[in-house]
Amino acid sequence: MSPQFVSPEGSASPVSQGSSISKPTKFDVSHILRVEILPGDFASRAVSKVTLPAGALFTPIKGITPATPSYLTVQTGPTSHISLNSDLQYINHSCRPTVEFDMAKNEIRVARDLKGGLKEGDELSFFYPSSEWNMDQPFQCRCKDVQCLGSIQGAKYLGENDMKRFWFNDHILKMKERGC
């Protein structure tokens, strides 16, 4: 789940203008977020249009479809992934996330430990390994948090201390217990 470059023609691409993906349209979230299309690969982002306290429901996740793992999908179970089919796909990764994707409940909540809650104008971000076991497209994190993990590959590669530091979906916790 990384942001995309959107060309003037409206096609989206993770790497260049050469390969295109349709702009998401199935679930309208324009009342709670705006997408900022920025130059460069993986630079665009989602920004909150609402102010909510930590732990509050940000949005249900609707309009999803089963999908093959890719940088745009979210893992929902040990072997299942979904396409968000909405501008929720512009919610980037951060090692200090502002929201949590709870895939058991199909909802996005404001991060429980977000001091001061979510404010209008805050960039929306979630910790990708909270739902991803072994990422289809690992990357170097650019969140610049003092405790940034650097290489983001999925929960499979996290140590015990990192597993205690973040919130994780149940399917990830169970996979970690089993040592998948």
Mean pLDDT, the chain, whole residue set: 89
**From CA 125, how far away is CA 129, in angstroms rounded?**
12
Type and span of the H or E element at 174:
helix 170-178
Residue % of the chain over a pLDDT of 70: 86
Express each pLDDT in 142-156 by its tens digit: 999 999 999 999 999
The CA-based diameter of the chain, rounded to the nearest angstrom, is 47
pTM attached to this predicted model: 0.85
Domain residue ranges in the chain: 5-178
Q: What is the pLDDT of residue 40?
A: 84
CATH fold for the domain made of 5-178: Beta-clip-like (2.170.270)
* End-to-end alpha carbon distance in the chain: 22
